[in-house]
Amino acid sequence: MSIRTLIVDDSAVVRQVLSAVLGAAPGIEVIGAASDPLRAMTLMQRIWPDVIVTDIEMPGMDGVAFVKQVMSTRPTPIVVCSSLVGPGARAGLEALAAGAVAAVAKPASGLKRYLEDDSGHIVPAVRAAAAGTARRPQRPAARPVDPARTPHRAERRIVAIGTSTGGTQALERVLTALPARPPAVVVVQHMPEKFTAAFAERMNALCAVEVREAVDGDRVRDGLVLVAPGGRHLELLSDPLAGYRVRVFDGPPVNRHRPSVDVLFRSVAKAAGPDALGVIMTGMGDDGARGLLEMRRAGAATVAQDEATCVVHGMPKEAVAIGAVEREVPLPAIAEVIRNHG
C-alpha cells in the first residue's frame, strides 16, 4: 500500500520538484500539493494523508502553527523541509517540539538541483515517518514482578526516559519541574542529528537540573540529565568506580530510529536492574516497548504517560499492551515520580 503524501510549500518550484522526487519513489504516492496550510487543510478534508511534508515560512499560517493544528486535530507524521532548519535554528526546534517527526534542510538558493540531489534524505524521511505509525502485534504479558524488590541505593538510582512525537514539549514540562539534584536521568528523544545539542542547551538554560547532550564515556550522576545525540545510540554501562557511565556509539537504526529507546532501555535493564525507573512518553510507533518490558522483568519500576496527556499515545500504548508498564500517569505527575525514585 502506497504512502499517501501531501506537500505544503509556498514555492511552486519546490512543490513541483518534491512532487516529482517523491512521486518517483516506489511505495510513495503524492496525493496533493498546497501553497499554504489553509489550502492544505481543505485538501485534507477530502483525503487524509499518511505523511505531510511542509515548509515553515508560509503565508496565512506558518509551518509551526500548521504542525500544532494537525497534531491537535488528527496526529499525523509530519516532515519539515525548510531553509529554516539547521543547527541552532529556533523554527526547526519549534516544529519538532510541536510534533514534527523529522526535519530536512533545504538551501535558500539552488533549490531545484538540491532537492533533486537530496532525494536520498527526503524519501527515507517520508518512509520512516510513515513506518513510525505501524501497528505491531501484541506480545505475551510480562511475568509478574517480585514485590519484594531490592531497595534502591541512593548512589545507584537511575531514571531512563524515552519519547518521540511531542516529546520535546513533554520533556520541557518534566525537566523544568525537577529540583537541582534529582536522581540521574538518561534520555532518548527521537530527534534529527544536531538538534539534540540545541535542545539540551535550551533545557539547561530553563531548568534547575543540569542538562546536556551525552558524550561517550560521560559519568552518570545525580543532578545531571544526559540526552542522547541525534543520529547515535546511547547505552548505560555499569562502572565499578563511577557507578554508571554512558556509551555513545554509531550503529544501525533499531525500530527505524537512531537513537533508539529500546537500545537505552535494554542497557538500563542490564546495568541497573531494580535500581532503575523507566518512563515511556508520547510518541508514534513502538520503540521502547520491548526495552521497557526487559526493565520491568529486571525489577525496575516502569511508568507510561497516560493517553489523555500524550500528543500521540503510540509508544506508551504499545508498552502497556505487552505488559511492560506498572502504572500510567498524566504528564504533570511524571516529575514527581522521578523525584520520589529512590
Catalytic residues: 164, 190, 287
In contact, 79 and 101? CB cutoff 8 Å: yes
Exposure on the CB side of residue 163, measured as CA atoms within 13 A: 31
Write out the DSSP string of 164-216. -TTHHHHHHHHHTTS-SS-SEEEEEE---TTHHHHHHHHHHHH-SSEEEE--T
Q: What are the b/e assignments for 158-191, b being 16+ CB within 10 Å?
A: bbbbbbbbbbbbbbbebbebbeeebbbbbbbbbb
Burial class of residue 141 (count of CB atoms within 10 Å of its CB; 0-12, 13-18, 19+): exposed
Taken in order 180, 182, 183, 184, the sign of the CA dihedral is negative
What cell numbers appear for 86 in the block? 539547521
- Of 32, 26, 72, the C-alpha closest to 50 is 32
Helix (H, G, I), strand (E, B) or coil at 137: coil
